[in-house]
Chains A and B, each alone.
Chain A
């Protein structure tokens, strides 16, 4: 029997289905699980063109819990497709369970890498194009953001899918274990940290209005204490406080939001913050 191979058009179709619709049916039960199954439909048609039962079997065992960052995480889907190809060629060593295992093993680490890289990129795009919009380029700003954001997402998603498909599971595992990805994440973390530090300076505004007024002098905490020590000291402390609540105290973002509203309302009413 001739070797079964996924056609190029099926690969393209699956990759596009995933990039466009990975979150379309997102719900608590299975998160992206069914989108993964949907992505596998063209692959199943390509591998088993005239075996409806085999197609159904393949899709039926593809429907389980799955959650990762959709773009860099597309590496996993590429790997899964290459494994399905091997199963279709009756390679005894690989079973459907192996695919589930590798997906479960990789979805966490790759979500971490993907969230870091895409979020740092997105924040940089936003920072640059918001600046541009507000300084007069009102059309170029939003359009530039759209082009950069959508371009980077589509490009990274596609590259990741074909990387996973061509390299296969073992090579990707090796790359992750060898520390190649770690280096990439370190770079993203460093760039992210610098950019966040800069963004915080520009956008977070926390200023106290507290003053001590006596008969012959006024002591202004903001200008005479904090600004004298280090400008923007309060925004820095406040941002680190939020980070501490989220990471060390495991406060959910929605709760943090409520806390901040309360703090703002109380402090603004009494003139502690202005």
Chain B
């Protein structure tokens, strides 16, 4: 990897952690990071495919109440780079990315603490009647420091580290791989159960098992399942409205 490539990718690492611009909603998804890393390193096809494979472990992972379970940006930047530069196959790249993602989040918790300093600065600005300058203390300065905090270590890690990491993963023996394989199969359950903690409640509960059966028994694809899901929801609402109005009529007759 050339220094320029490392700097570009290191800077992108800031993007995955910045929570800035509406692009933040896609920035850290491995499927996107994979394509971008691939473009920078000259093999967009491999990048996208490795990125999408890593993304499988993080489907459904979301940002809830100020915490995220994994640094998917770091995981996929280094995993995909090691696949393209170090010649790792997709499975080995996943084995590298998953533990890296677990290591991450350091940046997230660091920023959640030290950004408080900029909140105080903002208070001071407004107290001095300079509220027009709020973008300086609420966006520019925090993001500038965050950029340095993210981009410098990530650039160094990518420039000096990727070859060694790739070689180390290649040298690792079967046991490590079998653990990571089991782990990678279990990780998607985290994202899915986070989402379930929001949607799996009350009257919607049986529909989780309907979704399970649609794929297990009928082998529907994702898009087909989505259509069925929307129709099921519409029918359910219609029936519910219908029985609610029938209920009120029935009561009227009984009285």
User: Is this pair of chains taken from one and the same complex?
Assistant: yes
Q: Indicate whether A25 sits within 8 Å of B186 (C-beta atoms), given known contacts A34-B122, A264-B179.
A: no
Instruction: Report the separation of the CA atoms of residues A150 and B25 in the bound assembly, to the nearest whole angstrom.
Output: 7
In the complex, are the beta carbons of A230 and B216 less than 8 A apart?
yes
In the complex, are the beta carbons of A21 and B189 less than 8 A apart?
no
In the complex, are the beta carbons of B23 and A150 less than 8 A apart?
yes
Q: Does B157 contact A (CB under 8 A)?
A: no
Q: Which of A31, A157, A268 touches B182 (beta carbons < 8 Å)?
A: A268
Residues of B within 8 A of A190 (CB): 204, 207, 229, 232-233, 236
Residues of A within 8 A of B51 (CB): 133, 142
Residues of A within 8 A of B188 (CB): 199-200, 203-204
How many residues on A have C-beta within 8 angstroms of the other chain's C-beta atoms? 104
Instruction: Report the separation of the CA atoms of residues A41 and B52 in the bound assembly, to the nearest whole angstrom.
Output: 41
In the complex, are the beta carbons of B198 and A28 less than 8 A apart?
no
Residues of A within 8 A of B175 (CB): 268-269
Instruction: Report the separation of the CA atoms of residues A28 and B221 in the bound assembly, to the nearest whole angstrom.
Output: 41
Least distance between A237 CB and chain B CB atoms (Å)? 10
Residues of A within 8 A of B66 (CB): 26, 28, 31, 67
Q: Indicate whether A21 sits within 8 Å of B138 (C-beta atoms), given known contacts A119-B198, A130-B31.
A: yes
Q: Does B172 contact A (CB under 8 A)?
A: no
Q: Indicate whether A34 sits within 8 Å of B233 (C-beta atoms), given known contacts A204-B185, A264-B182.
A: no
Q: Does A2 contact B (CB under 8 A)?
A: no
In the complex, are the beta carbons of B207 and A198 less than 8 A apart?
no
Instruction: Report the separation of the CA atoms of residues A26 and B44 in the bound assembly, to the nearest whole angstrom.
Output: 33
Stretch at the interface among B8-16, B125-133, B163-171: B125-133
Instruction: Report the separation of the CA atoms of residues A270 and B237 in the bound assembly, to the nearest whole angstrom.
Output: 49
Instruction: Report the separation of the CA atoms of residues A242 and B26 in the bound assembly, to the nearest whole angstrom.
Output: 26
Q: Which of B54-95 contact A (CB under 8 A)?
A: 55-56, 59-60, 62, 64-67, 69-70
In the complex, residue of chain A having the shortest beta-carbon distance to the beta carbon of B202: A189
In the complex, are the beta carbons of B225 and A194 less than 8 A apart?
yes
In the complex, residue of chain A having the shortest beta-carbon distance to the beta carbon of B38: A138
In the complex, are the beta carbons of B60 and A25 less than 8 A apart?
no
Q: Does A188 contact B (CB under 8 A)?
A: yes
Q: Which of B25-55 contact A (CB under 8 A)?
A: 25-26, 29, 31-32, 34-35, 44-45, 48-49, 51-53, 55
In the complex, are the beta carbons of B22 and A157 less than 8 A apart?
yes
Q: Indicate whether A198 sits within 8 Å of B225 (C-beta atoms), given known contacts A63-B126, A120-B199, A154-B22.
A: yes
Stretch at the interface among A89-97, A163-171, A253-261: A253-261
Interface centre among A20, A126, A194 (most CB of B within 10 A): A194
Q: Which of A37, A230, A260 touches B122 (beta carbons < 8 Å)?
A: A37
Q: Which of B129-179 contact A (CB under 8 A)?
A: 129, 131-132, 134-135, 137-139, 142-143, 175, 178-179
Residues of B within 8 A of A112 (CB): 198
In the complex, are the beta carbons of A141 and B48 less than 8 A apart?
yes
Stretch at the interface among A3-11, A54-62, A76-84, A216-224: A54-62
Q: Does A87 contact B (CB under 8 A)?
A: no
In the complex, are the beta carbons of A37 and B179 less than 8 A apart?
no
Residues of A within 8 A of B189 (CB): 200, 204, 206, 235, 238-239, 242, 260
Q: Does B106 contact A (CB under 8 A)?
A: no
Q: Does A73 contact B (CB under 8 A)?
A: no
Q: Which of A177-229 contact B (CB under 8 A)?
A: 183, 186-207
Least distance between A61 CB and chain B CB atoms (Å)? 10
In the complex, are the beta carbons of A153 and B138 less than 8 A apart?
no
In the complex, are the beta carbons of A131 and B221 less than 8 A apart?
yes
In the complex, are the beta carbons of B119 and A29 less than 8 A apart?
yes
Q: Which of B187-230 contact A (CB under 8 A)?
A: 187-205, 207-216, 220-223, 225-226, 228-230
Instruction: Report the separation of the CA atoms of residues A207 and B112 in the bound assembly, to the nearest whole angstrom.
Output: 38
In the complex, are the beta carbons of A195 and B229 less than 8 A apart?
yes
Q: Given A142-B35, A205-B186, 5 more contacts at CB 8 Å?
A: A28-B112, A56-B126, A189-B204, A207-B185, A232-B216
17 contacts between A and B (CB under 8 A): A21-B138, A21-B139, A25-B137, A25-B139, A30-B119, A63-B126, A128-B222, A186-B233, A190-B207, A193-B204, A194-B207, A196-B192, A196-B195, A196-B208, A238-B186, A239-B189, A246-B194
Q: Chain A residues in contact with chain B, CB under 8 A?
A: 19-21, 23-31, 33-35, 37-38, 41, 44, 52, 55-56, 59-60, 63, 67, 112, 115-116, 119-120, 122-124, 126-131, 133-134, 138-139, 141-143, 145-146, 149-150, 153-154, 157, 183, 186-207, 230-232, 235-236, 238-239, 242-243, 245-247, 252-254, 256-257, 260-261, 263-265, 267-269, 273-274
Ordered nearest first, which 5 A-B pairs have the shortest CB separation? A197-B211, A205-B185, A27-B115, A192-B199, A194-B229
